[in-house]
Amino acid sequence: MTFFLLLLPPVFAALLAFVIRPYRPFVGWVNALLSLVSLGAALAFAAQAIAGGAAPTWGLALGSLGLVDVLRADSLSALLLVCVTAVASLTLFLSPGLGRPVNRPHWGELAYGPEQLRRYHVFINLFIAAMLLAVSANNVGVMWIAVEATTVFSAFIIPLKLNRASIEASWKYILIGSVGIALAFAGTVLGYFDFVSLSGRAENALNWTVLLATAPALHPEVMRLAFVFLLVGYGTKAGIAPMHTWKPDAYGESPAPLTALMSSALFAVAMYAILRWKVVADATLGGDYTNNLLIALGLLSLVVAAFSVVLATNYKRMLAYSSIEHTGLMCLGFALGPLGTFAALLHLVNHTAAKSLMFFLVDNIEHKYRSPLIADTRGLLKALPWTGALFAFTLLMLIGLPPGGIFVSEFALFRAGFALNHPWLMGVALALLAVVFVSFINHLNRMLYGAPTEGVVAGETGGWRTALLFLCVIVLVTLGLTLPAPLLTLLNQSVEIIAK
């Protein structure tokens, strides 16, 4: 029942947006309220997981279709569901098309027409529904279908404003994303092949609970090959180097709400897919193989991100490289045993919150300055006092300063690394983080101080939206200063699932 309350609201929202033609603002408001229903369902799952007991499942006993127990919400799923629905609600409340009449410019000149708004609302809700399905699916095949669906749905919204740059960005996104997802499917097929060669065909063989139970007996050589395909495939969606090349383009050209969702929620879903398969592969191969792969790719991501941030000239692309940096850190964390996994999961939660906030603030800035270049953005504190201050504060937290949650998770991650005797690895990672830190502060300085760029009228225009963002920053700080007991329980349970 709760599964319906989780998955159906975004589908209804998309249907509503599709049916109402031309677009009316009440559609946006209804969509936002429906997302709160999903959020409630996710919190219910989290409460159920914290209370203990068997994970709730749902399925249809339709003969040989393989739908028994197709959905399952254990602690790890519940944690991610809360993250995704929280960001989704925030995104829908801050989407274009709420409140103002559609023919008056919204937040500056980048106005969207009714047809574009309709398309946006249909696909963003379908995108959210696909992400929720991916995280609550027990069947790894259904999980794959949902992740591929997210690629397709988001590709429709990236070029909301059709111009050369956005078309180029979306073409790269859809091509690289689809190829990556196809490789992940090859990995899924190989995993199933491993199972079939061992036990013959079974209807529910693609349920990861079944895979996990048979995992110790699966063939190691096949699982090694399968995991490589899966890591490369889902890693393309997560933006792990060297499959990251679509990220800066896509984040730079998409409308801000979509970028906020992609950088936080979609990224979490891709990491979730890798984690589920890592659990199975570790049961077959022992932890070392997958850990070594993750460390290699994680380190590569950190290197790529560090040097790209130094050279960044566009603040949206700069934030995309920051995402790649955090992806690298998370990969390192997941490869460092239970301590590292705890740190990486905490990092995932905090990064989701911080990154989505960053992109909404950046949207404000871009609307004011009409340019995504760092060089064109000067005097932020004078032109947009509130947004500028929040931007500076969130950016500092994003690069790991206290009192942000990211500081706590990075600290825990390095502690895990040193505890497990990886001093050189942690040293290199710290050095790269320092490079990113210095570059960000440098770019931030250029943006914050001085007189505003010519032609920019000083003054906030966000209204209640900026106030909402301010509230979110308060939540982020609270998460950093205190780790609420329910969250801690959920994290501990998730770590137990991933790394015993």
Partner 1 sequence: MNEALFSQLSTLGSSVVLLFGLILLWRRSLHAYTDAFQWQSAVLAAMFVMIGYFGHDPELYFVAVFFFVLKVLILPHYLERMEKRFGGERESQPYVNVATSLILAGLLVLLAYAVTRPLVLVSALPTRGGLPLAMGLVFVGLFVVITRKKALTQIVGFLVMENGIALLAVLGTFGIPLIVELGVFLDVLMGFLVMQVFVYHIHGTFESIDVDQLNELRH
Sites of contact with partner 1 (CB under 8 A): 64-67, 70, 139, 141-142, 144-145, 148-149, 151-152, 155-156, 159, 162-165, 167-172, 174-175, 178-179, 182-183, 185-186, 189-190, 192-194, 196-197, 201, 203, 205-206, 219, 221-222, 225, 248-249, 252-253, 308, 311-313, 317
Minimum distance between the CB of residue 162 and partner 1, rounded to whole angstroms? Answer: 7
Q: Which is nearer to partner 1, 244 or 465 (CB)?
A: 244
Pick between residue 149 and residue 343 the one whose CB is nearest to partner 1: 149
Q: What angle do CA 434, 258, 96 make, to 5 degrees?
A: 125
Give least dist CB 436 to partner 1, A: 16
Task: Using alpha carbons, list the distances in angstroms from residue 105 to 114, 242, 252.
Answer: 12, 40, 21
Task: Please list, in sequence order, all residues whose beta carbon lies within 8 angstroms of the beta carbon of residue 37, skipping any fewer than 6 positions away.
Answer: 5, 9
For 214-279, give the DSSP string: HGGGS-HHHHHHHHHHHHHHHHHHHT-TTS-THHHHHHHHS-HHHHHHIIIIIHHHHHHHHHHHHH
Closest distance to partner 1 from the beta carbon of 134 (Å): 12
Range list of H helices, 20-113: 25-51, 75-93
Task: Give which of 323, 353, 346 is closest to 498, Cα–Cα.
Answer: 346
Q: Which is nearer to partner 1, 175 or 430 (CB)?
A: 175
The H or E element containing residue 440 is helix 423-448
Q: Can you tell me whether residue 434 is helix, strand or coil?
A: helix
Question: Is residue 368 a contact partner of residue 351, using CB atoms and an 8 Å limit?
Answer: no
Least distance in angstroms from the C-beta of 132 to partner 1: 16
Comparison of 34 and 160: residue with beta carbon closer to partner 1: 160
Q: Choose among 329, 351, 361: nearest CA to 460.
A: 361
Nearer of residues 175 and 458 to partner 1, judged by Cβ: 175
Query: Could you count the other beta carbons within 10 Å of the beta carbon of residue 162?
Result: 9
Q: By C-beta, is 11 or 487 nearer to partner 1?
A: 11
Using alpha carbons, select from 231, 217, 347, 218 the residue that is nearest to residue 289: 231
| Least separation in angstroms between CB 11 and partner 1 | 15
Place of tokens 């770590």: 495
Cβ 18 to partner 1 shortest distance, Å: 15
| 3-state SS, residue 463 | coil
Nearer to partner 1, 96 or 248 (CB): 248
Q: Exposed, middle or buried: residue 368 (CB in 10 Å: 0-12, 13-18, 19+)?
A: buried
CB of 165 to partner 1, least distance (A): 6
Find the shortest distance in angstroms from Cβ 210 to partner 1: 12
Cβ proximity to partner 1, 128 vs 383, nearer residue: 128
Q: How far is the CB of 483 from partner 1 (least distance, A)?
A: 38
* Cα separation values, 496 from 93, 151, 231, 304, 445, Å: 35, 30, 21, 32, 42
Q: What end-to-end distance do the CA atoms of the chain give, in Å?
A: 31
Min. distance of Cβ 280 from partner 1 in angstroms? 16
**Of 48 and 116, CB closest to partner 1:** 116
> Which of 131, 141, 138 minimizes the C-alpha distance to 55?
138
List all residues 6 or more positions away from 334 whose beta carbon is below 8 Å from its beta carbon: 271, 274, 275, 278, 294, 340, 341, 344, 498, 499
Residue 219 CB, shortest distance to partner 1, in Å, is 5
Pairing of strands 71-72, 57-58: antiparallel
Q: Which of 361, 309, 307, 301 lies closest to 326, judged by CA?
A: 301
Shorter beta-carbon distance to partner 1: residue 171 or 289: 171
Nearest residue (CB) to partner 1, 187 versus 452 = 187
